[in-house]
Amino acid sequence: MKVLIIGAGIIGAACARSLARRGVDVTVVDRGSAVGATSAAGEGNLLVSDKAPGAELALALYSLELWETLRRELAREVGPQFASIEFDPKGGIVAAIGSREAEGLTRFADEQRRAGVDARVLGVDEALAMEPELSPSISAAVYYPQDAQVQPTIAAEALLASARGAGAHVLVDTVVTGPVRDADGRLTGVTTSNGPLMADHVVVAAGPWSGEVARTLGGTLYVGPRKGLLLVTSRMPQRIFHKVYDASYVGAVQSDDHVLQTSTVIESTASGTVLIGSSRQNVGFDDAIDVAILGEIAAKAIRLMPFLSEVSIIRAYGGFRPHSRDHLPVIGPDQDVAGLWYAAGHEGAGIGLAPATAELLAASLLGETPAMSVEPFSSGRASLVGTPR
Ligand SMILES: Cc1cc2nc3c(=O)[nH]c(=O)nc-3n(C[C@H](O)[C@H](O)[C@H](O)COP(=O)(O)OP(=O)(O)OC[C@H]3O[C@@H](n4cnc5c(N)ncnc54)[C@H](O)[C@@H]3O)c2cc1C
């Protein structure tokens, strides 16, 4: 069987690996370089803490389990000369400021615990002992030991290298421009800037461009961009030990609001820089960096960790999360076009969800029984119907 995957980001790379290891003849095609788009623009949080009970949380728990094995397998497969993916099971601390936020946070943690998440309510003193730079004015905190982190660009590159090791081919600088169909209307390949590529199945894993690419191929997929900006500090000795964020982040992630959302999410990295995020904005592919938004992100971060006011910012950058209206990815076939598949719409969680997405996609495509139900991720689900393109 031949499968063509459109998009060499972390989702395409993970799908290529899962399929190639099952003996499928896989080609990954990208209009730019490999891992040159969204997967190189985000943080590398692998979070369960920000997910409400439901299908996305179940997918995140499954994916975390896979990351545990994957990090060892990748290290073995790509060898010691390949950079480390910097997997760090550091755990997350979510802190509230004010009594209303505190109530919401502890209620959310109770619900998550019932859904299988390890969520431990901390006293303020306990939280400060674990993260001494947290503001003493926080009103509540919850510790999530399952939260982890990777370096997303290296992790995606390692997945792609592993896929190539299993026989996958990667074509860069090749734009997919249209469908090739047989007499029955089945998709049998795509036209590209470098000529046609034929396949038994075509998987769209084109990140925030997935809706656009699906349309080009005659399919229907409601995935578009949701912009995010981040700040990067200069290197410093380690002063932040967990993934730390404020309780309003969960609301921002799950909000449908088209207006600007900012909330604090702070993460130290192995190189000593600290990533401070983030914003969420539905403004199409407008990539302007708005200094006022950076100021808002910085002010909120300083409220949570006051020492950050003394730290230099060396860089600000942004990217486009692949957004679907109900905040769930689409994993599975198009409803009308035979041969067309999707692995897209992971919004701000695609790094974390990549391994589980790939396993579910590969199992569905090959007619195996998937490890969990793929129904909630169907492209025809009710919560997407009527979504404007
Ligand atoms: C600011 C920010 C912070 C984030 N933080 C996190 C985080 O902490 N944890 C987390 O899990 N996720 C995070 N994310 C989300 C995560 O980065 C994405 O969900 C993930 O990278 C999506 O991967 P992808 O492979 O689907 O898309 P991409 O990496 O964008 O790959 C898609 C590829 O498709 C290619 N393509 C598009 N059109 C065509 C075409 N016509 N022909 C050929 N190729 C095409 C593009 O060139 C691109 O390389 C963040 C995102 C942002 C923007």
Distance between Cα 210 and ligand 1 center (Å): 10
For residues 41 and 112, membership in a common domain is answered with: no
Residue 57 lies in a domain: yes
pLDDT of 190 reads 98
Q: Is 160 in the pocket of ligand 1 (CB under 6 A)?
A: no
Higher pLDDT, 259 or 84: 84
- Model pLDDT for residues 341-363, shown as the tens digit of each residue: 999 999 999 999 999 999 999 99
CATH number for 62: 3.50.50.60
347 and 211 share one domain:
yes
Looking at the structure, tell me whether residues 26 and 113 fall in a common domain: no
In this predicted model, what pLDDT tens digit does every residue of 267-313 receive, in sequence order? 999 999 999 999 999 999 999 999 999 999 999 999 999 999 999 99
Q: Phi/psi class of residue 23: alpha, beta or left (left: φ > 0; alpha: ψ in -120 to 50)?
A: left
Please give the pLDDT value at position 325: 86
The DSSP result for 220-234, as a single string, is ----EEEEEEEEEEP
Choice among 117-126, 180-189, 248-257, 338-347 with the minimum mean pLDDT = 248-257
Structure token pair of residue 76: 């073995």
Shared domain check, 348 and 272:
no
The predicted pLDDT at position 42 comes to 84
Tokens of 159: 């997945």
Q: What is the pLDDT of residue 258?
A: 61
* b/e per residue 256-274 (b: at least 16 CB within 10 A): eeeebbbbbbbbbbeeebb
pLDDT (tens digit, 9 = 90+) per residue, 371-380?
Answer: 999 999 999 9
Cis amide prior to 99 (ω within 30 degrees):
no
pTM of the prediction?
Answer: 0.96
Ligand 1 contact, 321 CB (< 6 A): yes
Residue 133 and residue 176 share a domain: no
For residues 38 and 115, membership in a common domain is answered with no
Q: What is the tally of structural domains in the chain?
A: 2
pLDDT digits (tens, 9 = 90+) for 120-140: 999 999 999 999 999 999 999
Mean pLDDT (whole number) for 89-101: 92
Nearest-atom number in ligand 1 for the CA of 12 is 25
**Ligand 1 nearest-atom number relative to CA 230:** 1
Q: Which of 171, 209, 232, 328 maximizes ligand 1 atoms within 8 Å of its Cβ, making it the mutation to test the pocket?
A: 209
Which domain does 260 fall in, by range? Answer: 92-145+225-323
Shared domain check, 18 and 137: no
CATH number of the CATH domain containing 132: 3.30.9.10
- My answer on whether 292 and 344 are in the same domain is no
Q: Which of 17, 29, 38 to mutate to test the pocket of ligand 1 (most atoms within 8 A of CB)?
A: 38
In 3D space, the residue among 317, 20, 324 whose CA is nearest the CA of residue 159 turns out to be 20
HEC sequence for 78-108: HCCCCCCCCCECCCEEEEECCHHHHHHHHHH
Determine the pLDDT at residue 262.
84
Mutate to test the pocket of ligand 1, among 5, 28, 30, 357 (most ligand atoms within 8 A of CB): 30
Is the CB of 225 inside a 6 Å radius of any atom of ligand 1? no
Decide if 343 contacts 329 (C-beta within 8 A): yes
Number of helices and strands (H, E) in the chain?
Answer: 9, 19
Q: Residue 384: its pLDDT value, please?
A: 87
| pLDDT reading at 249 higher than 80 | no
pLDDT-derived band at 389 (thresholds 50, 70, 90) equals very low
Same domain, 70 and 174: yes
Distance, CA 33 to ligand 1 centroid (Å)? 13
pLDDT(201) > 50: yes
8 lines ligand 1 (CB under 6 A): yes
Stretch 63-82: mean pLDDT, rounded?
95
How many A from CA of 99 to the centre of ligand 1? 36
- Beta carbons within 8 Å of 176's beta carbon, 6+ residues apart: 6, 29, 31, 190, 191, 192, 213, 216, 217
Burial of 67: CB neighbours in 10 Å, binned 0-12, 13-18, 19+: buried
Backbone angles phi, psi at 288, to 5 degrees: -65, 140
Report d(CA 313, CA 232) in Å as an integer: 6
